[in-house]
Amino acid sequence: MVRGVNMKRSVSLRRKKVKSEIKARRPKRTLLNSQSLLAWYDQHRRILPWRALAGVTQDPYRVWLSEIMLQQTTVAAVGPYFQKFIKRWPTIRHLAKAPVDQVLQMWAGLGYYRRAHLLHACAQRIAADYRGQFPESEAELLELPGFGPYTAAAVAAIAFGQRANVVDGNVERVMARLFALQTPLPKVKVEIRAVAATLLPEARYGDYAQALMDLGATICTPRRPKCGICPLNKDCRAHALGIEEKLPQKIRVEKKPVRRAMAFVLINKKNQVLLRQRSKQGLLGGMMEIPSSVWQEGKMPQLTEVQRQAPAKTKWQILPGKVKHIFSHFELELAVAVGIAPKAVPGKWVGLSRLEDEALPSVMHKIVRHAVENL
């Protein structure tokens, strides 16, 4: 019993020691951190297609477009799409006049397609209600389609130099380490926003926001952070405690459910593939698709079970292998059946070489490739 009490006391003392060490390394609530970061940014800022050069005024349209595209998507993936959008629709008025189907077509492959619908709706709203000019305050930006707290803060700070607390995934990681915040994500997000607000500079809000993003993307990376060259390493509590790679902590995510279905690749005599448009509501709303049975959890359906959902009555050949695709909240496994259209079947028929011109999501391209490779 005494031994148990002593062990508890020992654990308690260790915890107090760690807490005191953390407190001792707490970054001072001064401008020191932000000024050090801005000095680093002036020398090491990334060159990005949507980012204005030093001393050049930011284009709000480019800032907004990039921020929408970068949601849940990497910089490397966004670059080519951003360039295509800007070339085709150089201003928000051009984008507002475009048919939404063309926007979806250009967005195809970038994922999270609801963003494309909201992007177009926002462009139309700004063109109609704001004479093609973005409002400058966070509060007004939050009223626009597709704007959440992060996007409103980012556009307000970067495009208009407004004082705003911009916190994305990179900034969350930097702050969690700088302050050694050990509450797991997502619960720690509120605390991160609070501590991040204490470090805002007196000016250059846009540069500061982008500096934090660049620091998280290039120095304070998820794995093997380059602490030795970090401009904030002297004030970083996690680095002082040697726990930087463990932060931010994350709650173990449960395995995603798996939905299964059968995709029907119907080909006509002209070697064209049948496409149909998905409902404008829900997942992949308004995009084109290869017809399939209902996506649902359970075992892979047999052809006899889902043949009534096929786009035509024909002899279907089940191909070997499966198509797998991961969505944000579930995994999808598809068996692929190929058939020859017996007669004229209503729908949109597209040649294989022209599929890139359609608003076809990545998973649909996977289905077509699987069919071509296994026929």
CA dihedral 136, 140, 143, 147 (to 10 degrees): 40
Radius of gyration in angstroms for the set of CA atoms belonging to the chain, rounded to a whole number: 26
297 is catalytic: no
d(CA 66, CA 60): 10
HSE toward the beta carbon, residue 6, CA cutoff 13 A: 3
Burial of 72 (C-beta count, 10 Å sphere; 0-12/13-18/19+): exposed
The candidate with the shortest Cα–Cα distance to 93, out of 130, 129, 53, 123, is 123
3-state SS, 168-226, equals CHHHHHHHHHHCCCCCCECCCHHHHHHHHHCCCCCCCHHHHHHHHHHHHHHCCCCCCCC
Q: Which of 67, 138, 289, 358 is catalytic?
A: 67
* SS3 of residue 240 by DSSP: helix
The candidate with the shortest Cα–Cα distance to 266, out of 300, 307, 295, 326, is 307
Is residue 309 within 8 Å of 296, Cβ to Cβ? Answer: no
Note the residue count of the chain.
Answer: 375
Q: Which residues pair with 266 in a beta bridge?
A: 339
Angle, alpha carbons 20-26-31 (nearest 5°): 160
Strands 331-340 and 323-326: antiparallel
* SS3 of residue 289 by DSSP: strand
Active-site positions? 67
